[in-house]
Structure formats: C-alpha cells, structure tokens
C-alpha cells in the first residue's frame, strides 16, 4: 500500500491514489513550476481508515511526520517551533473533482505561542493574528463541525463596534481580541478547547478530511454525479504561502481561456491582500485579472507564462489557483477547467485546429448532456424585458421562475411543481439541493469563480452572480440605484435571469429557440463520420420535423398521431366521432377528420423529404378526448337543479356523461388502447391509414420522395399485428391502386409489452421493423406506473441505491435491456433485414445510447433538441466500444 507520497515523487498518472489535486500538484512540481513543497496521503489510506471503522492505520502518523521533516528542511522552519514555525495547509482532494465539497484548513501549526513567533519573524503582528483567526475558524468548522456563522457573526459584530467595513481594516489588537472570542465559541459549543500542539492539530485535521468524505453534502454530490463511494479522498499537506502579507500580495483564480465562451484570453480574478478561500467565498468582489497586469506587471508575466505552460502540458484549458507572496508567484492547484457547453464545443474544435488533439479526442471530451444546455433557450432579442439590474454573466442560458430565498424553499416549491429562481447573497455547499431544484441562481455577491457560479455551470443551470444593486431583505430583495430603492421583489414573484448577459428581469420573458453554431456543426460532422447508430427524432408536427432536421435528424422515429386530434378546432369533430350513435354518424365524422390528417401528413412528408417517417396509429384510450367525468357530473347536477323541464342542452350533457361513463376504465393504461382500439374500431385506423397514403400519393405526384413507415402500437400477440398489417395493406392497395409499386412503405410495431418482446420471433413474421417503446416497456417490465413512481417512491429507491438511477431516464439494462436484446435477436433470426430502434426517452440519454450501440440496433429516436447530443453520444459509443455490431447466433423461437 502506498501511503505518503512527496510532491516530487508523484505524477499526474497517479491520480487514482493521489486524487486530482495531489496528482496535479506533483505534476506541476515535476515540470518545474513554483509549487510550495508538500506531500499527499493517498486514497489507499482513506479506504484503510474506513475499513478499520474510522481509524488511521498503524504507523501512518509517524510516516506523516517523517514527510513533515522534509518540508521543514526545504523551508528552513520547524513545525510547532515558536521561533520559526512551519505552517501548512491540509487539503482534501478526491479523484473526481468535487467543488466546494470538502473544506481546506490553512495556517495549521499556529498556536498562542507560535503566533507570536510568526509575528516576530515577519515583523507583522496584524498578519500573524489574521492567519491565526482564520485557522481557528476553519479548524472549528472542519474538525469540530461548528457552523461558520458562529464565527462570521463575531467578526461582523467586531467590525460594527469598530465602525469598519472591510477585513483588512482590522488591526492586530482587534484580531487578537477576536481570537479570544473564537476560542471561547469553540469551548462553549463543543466543550473542547482549540488544540495548542501542532502535531495534535495535524492528526485531527487528517482524520477530519477522511471523515468529510462521508458527510451529507459529499454524499449528495457523489450520488448526483455517479461517483463511487469507494473512490475515497487523498489528503494534501502543503507548506503555506501567504497572500495576506500586504499590498504586493494576494490570491486569485485564472482560467487559461474564457470558460463561458472558449475565447483565447486569460480569464479570472484576483484579490489583493487576501488568503485562500476569500476569492471563491465571494466575501469581497475581486478585480478582473487584466487589472493585475497594471498593478503588478512582473507577476502577471509569470502568471501568463505558467498558464500557457500548463495548458500545453495538459493539452486542455486549465483552471489554476495561485497566490502571490511579496511579488512572487506560487501555484496551488491546476485542473481541467469546467466550462459551459458553448466553450466546450468551441475549445474542442479549436484544439483540433491548433493541432493539440485529434478529432476523436475532441468528440470524447464533449459531455453529451452539455449539448442540452447549449441548445437551451435564450431571451428573445426582440423582446423588451423590464431589466431590474445587471450582475455577472456566470452561466449561460435564460430562466424564468418565482423568486425564493433559501434552498429548502426552493426544493419544496419545486417538488410542488413550481419553477423557482434561487436568490442568495452568496451560495455555500449547504445550498446545493436548492441549486439543483432551481431553474437558475442569482447572487448579490461573489465573482465568476464563486461557488454558485461553479456549481451552476457544472449543472448546466443559468446563473447571474455578484449582482450588487440587489439587496436581500426578509424574503424579498430590493434593487437600489444611487442609494434609492427602485424595485422590490417579494418571495413568489416571477423573475427571469439571463446568464449570458447577467441581466435580472422582472416577470416572465419571451424565450428564443437556440441555434447551431458553425463549430458545433463541424464537431457534429466529425461525429457523423464515426458513429454507426442512426439518429432519428420524435416529431408530431412539420415544425418539429424541420427543427429536428436542422439538428441533423435522419428520419422520424415516432410521430404520434393523437396530438393531431387534440387541437381545439378538431376536438369537436373527434368527440362527434367518439359519441356517434350509428355507423353512419361515425363515418361522417371520420370523413371530416380525414382531410385534416392528410394535411398533417403531407406537411411532415414534405419536411422529411427523402427520409423515413414512422407514423404511429392512434394509441391512447378514447376517453382521453372526452371531458372529465367528475366535472361533467357536477355540470349535470347543476342543470338538474336549475332547469325544471328537460332541455336539449341537458340531454346533450346526459348523453355525454353516459358515454364518458361507458368508456371509463379502471386502469386505462392497460385498457382499450393501442392496437386493441384498432381491432375494436377498425374504422379509425382505416381513416388514418387512408390519410397517410393519400398524403403520400399527393407528394409522389409532386415528385417528393416519401418513405412512410406505419407503426402499430401496443402489440402483444403476433395475431394482432397480422390483422393490423392486413388492414394497412388493404387500404394501401385501395388508395394507391396503380401507383402501389412506386411507393415503398413498411409496416412495423412498437415493442412495448413484455409479451411482444418475448414472442418477438413470431411477431417479426408480420413486421418490417421493431421500434422499442422503452417508456411503456419500462413501465410494464418493472410494474411501475411512471407518474406514480416518479412522484412517490422512485426518488427513495434511487437515493437508497435500490436502483442505480431512474429507469425512465437511464435504460434498465439488466431487465428492460435484456428484453430488447432477446427481441432484437429473435426478430433478426426470422428476418435478417428487420430494422430496430428505440423511440422512448432513452433515445436521448447517453448511457442508453451506448447500450443501443452495443446491441447493434439500427437507430435511436429522440426529441429534436436532443438530436445533436445523440449524434455525439453515438460517436462516443463507437469510439469506446468499437464499431461492429455483436455477433450472437440465435435460434429462432416461434410459436403460432
Ligand atoms: P478547494 O478544493 O475548495 O479549492 P483548496 O484546497 O484548493 O480547496 O484550498 C482552498 C484555498 O486555499 C484555495 O484558494 C487555495 O489556493 C488556498 N490554499 C491551499 N493551500 C494553500 C497553501 N499551502 N498556501 C496558500 N494558500 C493555500
Ligand atoms: Mg473549498
Ligand atoms: Mg482549490
């Protein structure tokens, strides 16, 4: 077991053991960049700690102290020595970056005695006490689990008493007095006193880092981001450098390129005379990095050259933490920078053009769900929003919601189905569930690298930060201009934020549909060359079809015809059809619907010229088109009270009520729907099929290449499909007549009932294609009704790890996936040319797309906005899993 590794002995390749931070500190040391000396206690030790029930392994502390001797030598200082005290930071560092999840302790090694030594050695008592009070606060927070506000409150009170605003106005005496209060707070709340022995501090801090791996917020973060619990964290112990020693000191964060747009400029912030977390905590609003060039040109030059060196070394945009101590630059961290979707695409393409990475690497670097963010809506430039204030554009995308002022309310309201914008002065890791629940985040303080900004960017949520004109009040915020309050927004009022420009807007705004950039087109073109899976779209209207085609859809995998029945002008006709007393009445209603449907299909065929269009015949139970039975009953009762004699109106309502009641089913999802409807009321499907072929014929006559695929829903038995196919072929022959040979059409089915999957061999005899309707297939395989599951027990199942993820979002490979595999194999064994695809929501999910690729399906179909995402994911699947579909000889199993 590797336990303690000095920076100069590690490297980036040891990330699993050293954690991301430790591995990169080692790598930077190796390439000769100025990193304060330190060492890493490995993730092996973390696992050993938990295996032993929360105990450091034997001899570990001794080994740690041996490594400390190395630091003492390098710095010419001694740990715990009052005359020349060595101070260190203790920093957690997991393998996968977990921003803001575990806190760092700075200035460890200070005590009542050594602080005096530090004051003498530096000749700066104010500085020494500042360091000490920070240590006590961080130590109290991390080791003793005391909430930071205990300390913040005392600091605020002290500043108020002294009539000062900023921390740096505090004098040595003021800090010294505050230190006594801090120590008293710890005693009061824990019964323990702040340890005065450096070694004891170190031991407690190491244990606290390991403990923090399992704290609540770390566990939440891991479960959101699917980080395994066994990964463990490393502990980095590093000698201190000080950004709080005066005006030629400071601390900052830079990205080697703009992480919002990808633009090639050094991007970041710097806070003079400050230490550690001051920048990210949003305590003061820092200055842009370009200002550093004016103030300390020499340091700026060092920074630029270090940044360029790191980017070249890692072949990716870097996010760098640095500190300047008395005009000298030190690097404290580097990692691949988190970026917006826009920047991710931009950078991937630019790095290929710069010759830094290959096209394949570029594709692999794209996080598919990021494209979802990229294709998010923006505020319509033509709209005239009521702009209240402007802050920093911290994470792009526009969002509208009701203002809420704490994370718990955000979560509760969002559970209740409301859209919320979380408004805070700044966010902390404790707010993470609120950020998750919100449409977007607005803060009044903090910069582009503050916690809120980083977390929102990571989650792809719009965010506006550091919006200083707003002031938080009790469950409201005020907007002030020139010290006058110009607006007040209370909890529950609607606001909008524009994370691309930083605007904060009153009310709901008009949003504009996203567009593809040239870089994205280029990247998607590379993906198309690599992927094997085709990408279709789910589209019910010509508009959606056009949009999806613009995003690169290669066909329609699911066109739901019921939506065509729902528009207000058609509802009366549809109802007339359902309520008809005689076959003649029904025929006349259907005759009215026919040209409407024909028009719909013509529109879609034109939009998808040359590409396959899969049209699903009517699927939902008929009562969905009728009014709600309870409302009708109430209306009827009121009429009975008001009208003595029978009125025509009342008779109408009575008739409707009777019909609705007669169509009522205990469990409509499992009732008369899908092909069952088509078998019981063949005239409805006949009309739809006639409309499809008339539309096709019309297009054919206009020289438009049409490729209709007719899809029969909810088949469970081969005999059902056999009958439905006969219906389709018969109507086709009638409508097309002579032209039947000019048109190539296919008839297939959705595989969405487990029995259909199991008997796929028989069903394939009557099908040209299988489209796996994974939404229903998941419901029926797991026996979950989606609406009930997602609202009630599913989150519990996922949180307690009974299920790895929501099976309606990520395909359940072990269950549903095996049905798909079986059905595809059986089907192809009977009909090698059988086309297979997925048209459930899973068609737009990366993991599920990987599965479809691995199983050798022909296509996935997803909503228009997800088409680009699916193109990338399909290419990533081909790169990760290889190109060839599986060869699994299958014995066809057929029953009558
Ligand atoms: P996080 O993972 O939250 O970024 P870090 O361990 O990077 O936590 O540390 C928090 C802050 O403290 C950062 O600004 C970092 O640069 C600073 N810091 C950490 N170690 C030292 C050190 N040895 N000297 C000076 N500043 C440090
Ligand atoms: Mg932190
Ligand atoms: Mg850091």
pLDDT along the chain (896 residues), means of 10: 96 96 98 97 97 96 97 96 96 83 88 96 94 96 91 94 89 96 96 96 96 85 84 96 92 94 93 82 80 93 96 97 96 93 92 96 90 75 86 87 96 92 88 89 85 74 91 93 89 94 91 84 97 95 92 96 82 90 93 95 97 97 85 84 76 87 89 95 96 97 96 98 98 92 94 98 98 96 86 79 90 97 97 96 94 97 90 97 68 61
> Which of 839, 852, 853, 862 is the catalytic position?
839
Tell me which residue has its CA closest to atom 1 in ligand 1.
100
Sign of CA dihedral 244, 247, 249, 255: positive
Distance CA 866, CA 382 (A): 26
Residues 6+ apart with CB under 8 A from 809: 841, 842, 845
Contact call for residues 855 and 820 (beta carbons, < 8 A): yes
Residue 323 Cβ contacting ligand 1 at under 6 Å: yes
Tell which atom from ligand 1 comes closest to the C-alpha of 91: 6
Q: Known catalytic residue: 451?
A: yes
Q: Is 382 exposed, middle or buried (0-12, 13-18, 19+ CB in 10 A)?
A: exposed
Strand (E) or helix (H) holding 400: strand 398-404
Residue identified by tokens 């438009």 is 704
Contact call for residues 249 and 272 (beta carbons, < 8 A): yes
Distance CA 570, CA 596 (A): 9
The preferred substitution site among 91, 94, 209 for testing ligand 1, maximizing ligand atoms within 8 Å of CB, is 91
Tell me which residue has its CA closest to atom 13 in ligand 1.
276
Q: Known catalytic residue: 467?
A: no
Residue 107 Cβ contacting ligand 1 at under 6 Å: no
The preferred substitution site among 276, 279, 322, 326 for testing ligand 1, maximizing ligand atoms within 8 Å of CB, is 276
Domains of the chain and any CATH numbers: 4-241 (3.30.1490.20), 242-339 (3.30.470.20), 376-512 (3.50.30.10), 531-621+665-880 (3.20.20.60)
Distance CA 29, CA 125 (A): 32
**DSSP class of 800:** T
Phi, psi of 277, deg, nearest 5:
-70, -5
Residues 6+ apart with CB under 8 A from 195: 111, 201, 204
Distance CA 616, CA 47 (A): 53
CA angle, residues 212, 218, 220, in degrees to nearest 5: 150
Helices and strands, number each (H, E), in the chain: 36, 33
Residue 731 Cβ contacting ligand 1 at under 6 Å: no
Distance 241 CA to ligand 1 centre (A): 10
Residue 276 Cβ contacting ligand 1 at under 6 Å: yes
Q: Which residues of 333-342 are buried (b: 16+ CB within 10 A; e: fewer)?
A: bbbbbbbbbb
Q: Which two tokens stand for residue 69?
A: 């001797």
Residue 876 Cβ contacting ligand 1 at under 6 Å: no
The per-residue pLDDT for 51 is: 95
Contact call for residues 397 and 460 (beta carbons, < 8 A): yes
Q: Which two tokens stand for residue 96?
A: 């996968």
> Which of 370, 451, 623, 853 is the catalytic position?
451
Partnered with residue 861 across adjacent β-strands are: 536
Q: At what angle do helices 629-642 and 648-663 cross, to 10 degrees?
A: 150
Distance 887 CA to ligand 2 centre (A): 50
Q: Which two tokens stand for residue 461?
A: 């949520």
The preferred substitution site among 96, 323, 329, 338 for testing ligand 1, maximizing ligand atoms within 8 Å of CB, is 323
Q: Is 72 exposed, middle or buried (0-12, 13-18, 19+ CB in 10 A)?
A: middle
The per-residue pLDDT for 569 is: 80
pTM (predicted TM-score): 0.78
Q: Which two tokens stand for residue 269?
A: 């912030």
Residue 826 Cβ contacting ligand 1 at under 6 Å: no
Residue identified by tokens 């395909």 is 811
Residue 138 Cβ contacting ligand 1 at under 6 Å: no
Tell me which residue has its CA closest to atom 26 in ligand 1.
276
Tell which atom from ligand 1 comes closest to the C-alpha of 242: 25
Residues 6+ apart with CB under 8 A from 568: none
Residues 6+ apart with CB under 8 A from 737: none
Residue identified by tokens 């009777």 is 658
Distance 473 CA to ligand 2 centre (A): 27
């Amino acid at each position: 077991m590797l336990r303690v590794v000095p920076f100069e002995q590690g490297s980036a390749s040891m990330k699993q053991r050293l954690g991301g931070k430790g591995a990169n500190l080692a790598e930077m040391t190796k390439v000769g960049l100025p990193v304060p000396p330190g060492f890493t206690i490995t993730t092996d030790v973390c696992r050993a700690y938990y295996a032993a029930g929360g105990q450091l392994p034997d001899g570990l502390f001794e080994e740690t102290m041996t490594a400390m001797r190395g630091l003492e030598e390098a710095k010419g200082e001694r740990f715990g020595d009052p005359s020349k005290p060595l101070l260190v930071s203790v920093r957690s560092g997991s393998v996968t970056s977990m921003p803001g999840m575990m806190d760092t302790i700075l200035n460890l090694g200070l005590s009542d005695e050594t602080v005096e030594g530090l004051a003498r050695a530096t000749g700066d008592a104010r500085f020494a006490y500042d360091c000490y009070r920070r240590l006590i606060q961080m130590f109290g927070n991390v080791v003793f689990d005391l909430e930071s506000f205990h300390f913040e409150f005392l600091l605020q009170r002290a500043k108020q008493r002294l009539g000062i605003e900023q921390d740096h106005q505090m004098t040595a005496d003021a800090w010294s007095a505050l230190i006594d209060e801090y120590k008293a707070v710890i005693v009061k709340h824990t019964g323990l006193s702040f340890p005065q022995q450096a070694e004891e501090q170190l031991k407690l801090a190491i244990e606290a880092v390991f403990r923090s791996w399992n704290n609540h917020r770390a566990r939440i973060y891991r479960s959101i981001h699917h980080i395994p619990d066994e990964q463990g964290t490393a502990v980095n112990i590093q000698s201190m450098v000080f950004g709080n020693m005066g005006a030629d000191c400071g601390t900052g964060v830079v990205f080697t390129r703009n992480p919002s747009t990808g633009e090639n400029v050094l991007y970041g912030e710097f806070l003079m005379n400050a230490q550690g977390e001051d920048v990210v905590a949003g305590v003061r609003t820092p200055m842009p990095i370009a200002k550093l060039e004016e103030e300390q040109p020499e340091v700026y030059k060092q920074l630029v050259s270090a940044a360029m060196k790191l980017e070249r070394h890692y072949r990716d945009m870097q996010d760098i933490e640095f500190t300047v101590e008395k005009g000298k630059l030190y690097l404290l961290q580097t990692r691949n920078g988190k970026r917006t979707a826009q920047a991710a695409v931009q950078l991937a393409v630019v790095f290929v053009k710069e010759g830094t990475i290959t096209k394949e690497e570029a594709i692999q670097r794209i996080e598919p769900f990021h494209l979802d963010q990229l294709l998010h809506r923006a505020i319509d430039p033509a709209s005239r929003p009521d702009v209240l204030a402007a802050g920093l554009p911290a994470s792009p995308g526009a969002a509208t919601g009701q203002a809420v002022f704490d994370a718990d309310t955000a979560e509760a309201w969002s559970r209740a189905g409301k859209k919320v914008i979380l408004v805070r002065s700044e966010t902390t890791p404790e707010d993470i569930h609120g950020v998750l629940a919100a449409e977007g985040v607005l803060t009044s303080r903090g910069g582009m690298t503050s916690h809120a900004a980083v977390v929102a960017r990571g989650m792809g949520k719009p965010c506006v930060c550091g919006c200083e004109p707003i002031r938080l009040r009790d469950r409201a915020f005020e907007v002030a201009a020139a010290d006058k309050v110009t607006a007040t927004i209370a909890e529950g009022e609607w606001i909008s934020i524009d994370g691309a420009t930083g605007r904060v807007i009153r009310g709901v705004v008009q949003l504009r549909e996203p567009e593809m950039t040239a870089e994205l087109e280029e990247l998607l073109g590379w993906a198309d060359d690599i992927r094997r899976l085709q990408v279709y779209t789910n589209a019910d209207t010509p508009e959606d079809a056009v949009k999806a085609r613009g995003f690169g859809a290669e066909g329609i995998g699911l066109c739901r015809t019921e939506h065509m029945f729902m528009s207000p002008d058609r509802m009366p006709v549809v109802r007339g059809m359902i309520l008809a007393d005689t076959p003649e009445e029904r025929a006349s209603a259907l005759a009215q619907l026919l040209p409407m449907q024909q028009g719909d299909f013509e529109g879609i065929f034109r939009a998808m010229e040359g590409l396959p269009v899969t049209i699903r015949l009517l699927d939902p139970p008929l009562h969905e088109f009728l009014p709600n039975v309870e409302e009708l009953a109430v209306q009827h009762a009121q009429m009975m009270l008001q009208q003595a004699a029978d009125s025509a109106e009342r008779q109408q309502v009575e008739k409707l009520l009777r019909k609705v009641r007669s169509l009522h089913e205990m469990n409509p999802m499992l009732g008369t729907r899908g092909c069952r409807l088509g078998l019981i009321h063949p005239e409805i499907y006949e009309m739809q099929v006639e409309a499809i072929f008339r539309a096709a014929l019309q297009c054919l006559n206009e020289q438009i290449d049409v490729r209709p695929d007719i899809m029969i829903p909810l088949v469970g038995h081969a005999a059902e499909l056999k009958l439905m196919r006969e219906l389709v072929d018969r109507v086709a022959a009638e409508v097309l007549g002579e032209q039947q040979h000019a048109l190539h059409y296919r008839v297939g089915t959705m595989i969405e009932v487990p029995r259909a999957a199991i008997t796929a061999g028989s069903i394939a005899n009557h099908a040209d294609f299988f489209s796996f309707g994974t939404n229903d297939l998941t419901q029926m395989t797991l026996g979950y009704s989606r609406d009930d599951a997602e609202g009630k027990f599913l989150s519990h199942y996922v949180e307690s790890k009974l299920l790895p993820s929501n099976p309606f979002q990520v395909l359940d490979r072990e269950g549903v996936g095996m049905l798909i595999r079986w059905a595809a194999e059986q089907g192809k064994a009977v009909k090698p040319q059988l086309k297979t695809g997925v048209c459930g929501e899973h068609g737009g999910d990366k993991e599920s797309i990987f599965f479809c690729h691995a199983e050798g399906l022909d296509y996935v179909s997803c909503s228009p906005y997800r088409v680009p995402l699916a193109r990338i994911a399909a290419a990533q699947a081909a790169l990760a899993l290889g190109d060839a579909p599986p060869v699994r000889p299958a014995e066809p199993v057929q029953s009558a």
